[in-house]
Amino acid sequence: MKLLLTKIVATLGPASAAPEVIGQLIDVGVRVFRLNFSHGTFDDHSQLLATVRSVASDTGVPVAVLGDLSGPKIRVGEVVKEGVMLEQGSQVEFVKGTVVTGSPGTTSPGRVAFSTSYPAIVEEVQEGEPILLDDGKVRLTCVGRRGRGEDARLLCEVTHEGPITSRKGVNLPQTTLSLPSLTEKDHACARFAVENDLDYVALSFVRSAADVIALRSLLGELAQAKQGAEAAPRGLESLPIISKIEKPQAVADIDAIVEASDGIMVARGDLGVEMDLAEVPVVQKQIIEHCHAHGKPVIVATQMLETMIEAPTPTRAEVSDIANAILDGSDAVMLSGETSVGKWPLRAAETMSRVAQQTNDYLKQKPLVFGSPHEARGAWRQFAMIAEGAWLMASGLDAKLVVLWGELERAAYLSRRKASRPILLFAEDERQLRRSALLFGVTAVQLETPASSEAFLVAADQLIQERGWANRGDTVLVLIPTSLSATGAGNTLLVHRLGDPVGEAA
């Protein structure tokens, strides 16, 4: 098992569904697998999940599974098979009813009528606001509306022409929508995530912290229902939420959203449609900085190796994009279509892994110093301060590894500093091990609860040397709670030379 710093998230799909492919992806460094609920059925997702869990068990590598909710994505309705061409300057109408665009009665010279998955668009888009179709490839401007009630129509003019086929996405970057943050489908997907013990849930199209709070309430209710027969370990009562930042409204409320979330995804696909593309690189850096300030993990996603969906090699710009996301301090970088439907899923993951390795090697020589994490509260304040001190000691002593026993929260506090040294988390609970797979620098190892701190140190020393993670005589820093079986217990910080008898740590 490799000791990774930056983690790789890979989206599952037809190109990566086979057990042997999933095993190869784990081998090259994928530690989080994404189920995209926008595609496929629950039976499809169940089969993928079972395959991941089985392969991960065989390899002995804890990997996390992230369920990505579809969110309130607006789409145009049905269009005739050949599609329709929207000409520059032509008129487009959006109607409340259901129509098949391009069929008789929906088109006339210079005019085309569409239905959408969100009929209220007819009332909520205001004159002068843009409407973007198919990821912004086709652009319209609202020029008014006519009619009332169910006969109301939104009138638009085409400003950037292009073809449109069925179910293309609709983006409304300047419109305030009453659309709920969680759709009926999202409720069903959240239930699937809880019932099948996924490790993270991603919330799409977040607009405010209230959207995150609403999902957390739903997940809590679902977890309580499930726990009638199964008690969750401390800290695992509800699935962690990764908020996807892909709307300008979310950027405006970023501090509150980061505070309310367990992690953030910089989802540059829709973000790049709804904002000026020139703003996105700076916004990406700002979001990552907010995550550092609050001590939350952050994933950078979308089009990182888009060329490799079709081509066996990436562009130089794509390679630089991955490296710059890592240099900014992201915990993970993500592959989407590259591994779900691409021709080269394994080669794409290998490429991303090699770029991450080279960039992390550079950071080991010229480490970046990120700001201290947001002040810890309550029982964890003591450990947060110990974690800060541990990194100072690890740097001064050139420790090869930081080793700890215990809860996921302990590993998270150590991970937040993004120091370029591996962190080994030993724990017994499988869910804690899997969820740690997203955290920068953390490698999880399952171990039955030792009889004592001394027994843990002996076991860790032996395993580190057996797996070649460090050599006899190397210095490691060890964090051990005063009680291995109690949660939130106090901590002992040891400097240990591998191979030294326990009790004689220097």
pLDDT tens string, the chain, 506 residues long: the values are 889 999 999 999 999 999 999 999 999 999 999 999 999 999 999 999 999 999 999 999 999 999 999 999 999 999 999 999 999 999 999 999 999 999 998 888 889 999 999 999 999 999 999 999 998 999 999 999 999 899 999 999 999 999 999 999 999 999 989 999 899 999 999 999 999 999 999 999 999 999 999 999 999 999 888 876 455 444 446 899 999 999 999 999 999 999 999 999 999 999 999 999 999 999 999 999 999 988 899 999 999 999 999 999 999 999 999 999 999 999 999 999 999 999 999 999 999 999 999 999 999 887 766 655 555 555 556 777 778 888 889 888 999 999 998 878 888 888 988 888 999 999 999 999 999 999 999 999 999 988 888 999 999 999 999 999 999 999 999 988 776 766 555 578 889 999 998 854 43
Inter-residue contact 410 to 436 (CB < 8 Å): no
- Residue 499 is which amino acid? G
User: Could you tell me the end-to-end alpha-carbon distance of the chain, in angstroms, rounded to an integer?
Assistant: 28
CATH of domain 7-71+180-365: 3.20.20.60
Beta bridge partners of 492: 480
Instruction: Please identify every residue annotated as catalytic.
Output: 34, 75, 244, 302
* Distant-in-sequence, close-in-space partners of 47: CB < 8 Å, separation ≥ 6: 17
Q: Please, what is the Cα angle at 250 between 155 and 330, to 5 degrees?
A: 135
484: which DSSP letter? S
- Per DSSP, 450 falls in state P
* Phi, psi values for residue 45, rounded to 5°: -65, -35
pLDDT at 233: 46
Domain with CATH 3.20.20.60 in the chain: 7-71+180-365
Contact 425, 436 (CB under 8 A): yes
69 burial via Cβ count (<10 Å: 0-12, 13-18, 19+): buried
CB atoms within 10 A of CB 49: 20
Are the beta carbons of 484 and 490 closer than 8 angstroms?
Answer: no
Domain spanning 378-497: which superfamily?
Answer: Pyruvate kinase, C-terminal domain (3.40.1380.20)
DSSP 332-376: EEEESHHHHT-S-HHHHHHHHHHHHHHHHHHHHHS---PPPPSPP
Could you give the count of Cα atoms lying within 13 Å of 95 in the half-sphere of its Cβ? 17
Q: Where in the chain is the domain with CATH 2.40.33.10?
A: 74-171
Cα–Cα dist 157/175, whole Å: 17
- Tell me how far apart the alpha carbons of residues 280 and 286 are, in angstroms, rounded to a whole number: 10
Taking each helix axis from N to C terminus, what angle separates 408-415 and 381-397, rounded to the nearest 10 degrees? 50
Which residue spans of the chain are classified as CATH 3.40.1380.20?
378-497
Residue 30 DSSP SS3: strand
Give the separation between CA 146 and CA 111, rounded to whole angstroms.
14
Quote the CA–CA distance of 413 and 239 in Å, as a whole number: 19
- What is the identity of the amino acid at 152? A
What single-letter amino acid sits at 127?
Answer: E
Angstrom distances, CA of residue 347 to CA of 23, 235, 285, 313, 351: 14, 37, 27, 8, 6
What is the reported pLDDT for 336? 96
Q: Which residues make Cβ contacts (< 8 Å) with residue 494, sequence separation at least 6?
A: 457, 477, 478, 479, 480, 505
Strands 138-146 and 153-160: antiparallel
Q: Please report the DSSP string for 182-240 in residue order.
A: S-HHHHHHHHHHHHTT-SEEEEPS--SHHHHHHHHHHHHHHHHHHTTS-PPPTT-SS--
Say which residue the tokens 């309430």 belong to: 217
Q: Does the pTM exceed 0.75?
A: yes
Q: Does domain 74-171 have CATH number 2.40.33.10?
A: yes
